[in-house]
Structure 1
C-alpha cells in the first residue's frame, strides 16, 4: 500500500463508518512535538504510532502498531510482557513502513495489514479527540476518540513510560 493509498483508504473507511473528523493542513512535519504546535493542540492529544516486533519463543515474531500519547514514550518491556514475548525491539524502518503502508512520521493509528496488531495505551483515550498525520507529512486529522475506538476496537494496554516535563 502506497502513501496515497493509505490516505484514501483512511478517508473512505472513516466516511463509511460515519466518523466525525476534520483535516488540518500544515507545513510538512513528522515530529510529534513540532506538528502538535502546527495543529494547535496539546502534545498529549497526539497519537504517536510505532511498529514494534515481539518474538514469542524462538521461531515466532509478531508485529504491533503501538499507539501512545504524544507526550509519552513506549515501554517496550511492558508490551513484551503483555503479550508474553521473549524479545522486543522496534521494527526496522522498511518493515514498519511496509506493514503500516506509509512512511515513518506519517504512520496511521489504524492497521490495514493482517500481520500488524493494534495496541493503544489508555492514556491516549483520555482526550475527546486524537490528532495524527493522515499518512502524509502535510496533512493531519483530528478524530473523535469515541469514533476511533468504535472503528478500531483495539487492544488497550498500558504501554507507556511518562516523560517528565519541566515545571513552568
Structure 2
C-alpha cells in the first residue's frame, strides 16, 4: 500500500485549509511511547489511532477510527454503548490498513475513506498541540486540537480510559 499517497493527501488537505502545522522528521517508529520520546513530548499530547469493528446487529458492521490521547487506551465498552452495538473490538490488520490507507503505527487521526467514521475523545480535540505520525514511520506532524477537529470533523465522545500501569520488574504479581 503506497503510504506516500496518504501522506500527500494529508499535506494537501492541510495546505488547502491553511492550517498551521509543523512536520517533524525522526527515526522510523510507530509505537506511541517510543515515538513520543523521539519527538520530545508527553504521550498525552499524541493521538493514538485505532481502527475498530463495531457490530451494531447481526447484519450491520461499522468501522470506526478511534482517536484517544497517547497515554490512554480505547474503552471498547464505551464505544459499544455509544453505537448501541452488540460488539466493539479491534479490526483485523488487513481491513484496518485498507480503510486507514496506511500501515499500523502510521494511522492518521483523519479518514479518507467514507466507510471509516472518526470518533475522537474530547481530550484529543482540546489539546493545544496534537502530535501524530503522518502516514509514515519517519515523519510526524503537530497541529492544534482545534484545527484537527475542524478538518477531521470527528464525532466527539468520551472513549478513553487510563492505560494499565506497566508491570514492575521483580515485584510480586499484581503489585
* TM class by smaller structure: over 0.9
- Structure 1 residue 165 displacement after superposition: 5.3
Unpaired runs of at least 5, structure 2: 167-175
Range 1-10 or range 43-52, more displaced: 1-10
C-alpha distance in structure 2 between counterparts of 1:153 and 1:126, whole Å: 14
Q: Distance in 1 between matches of 2:108 and 2:158?
A: 19
Note if contact 1:73-1:163 (Cα within 8 Å) is conserved in structure 2: yes
- Return 5+ residue gaps in structure 1 as ranges: none
CA shift, 1:164, in A, is: 5.4
- State yes or no: 1:113 paired with 2:121: no
- Residue in 2 that maps onto 1:158: 158
Paired residue for 2:173? none
Q: CA deviation at 1:129?
A: 1.1
- After TM superposition, where is structure 1 displaced by more than 3 Å over at least 4 residues in a row? none
Q: How does 1:5-154 map to 2 (within 5 A)?
A: 5-154=5-154
Secondary structure at 2:54's aligned position in 1? strand
TM-score scaled by structure 2?
0.92
Contact between 1:108 and 1:134, CA under 8 Å: does it hold in 2?
yes
- Separation of aligned partners in 2, 1:96 and 1:49: 11
Corresponding position of 2:3: 3
CA contact (8 A) 1:19 1:144 kept: no
Give the Cα–Cα distance (whole angstroms) in 1 for the partners of residues 123 and 151 of structure 2: 18
Cα offset for 1:126? Answer: 3.0
Higher mean C-alpha displacement, 140-149 vs 11-20: 140-149
The higher radius of gyration belongs to 2
Q: CA RMSD in A?
A: 1.2
> Helix, strand or coil: the match of 1:29?
coil
TM-score by length of 1: 0.95
Instruction: Determine if contact 2:126/2:146 at 8 Å carries over to the other structure.
Output: no
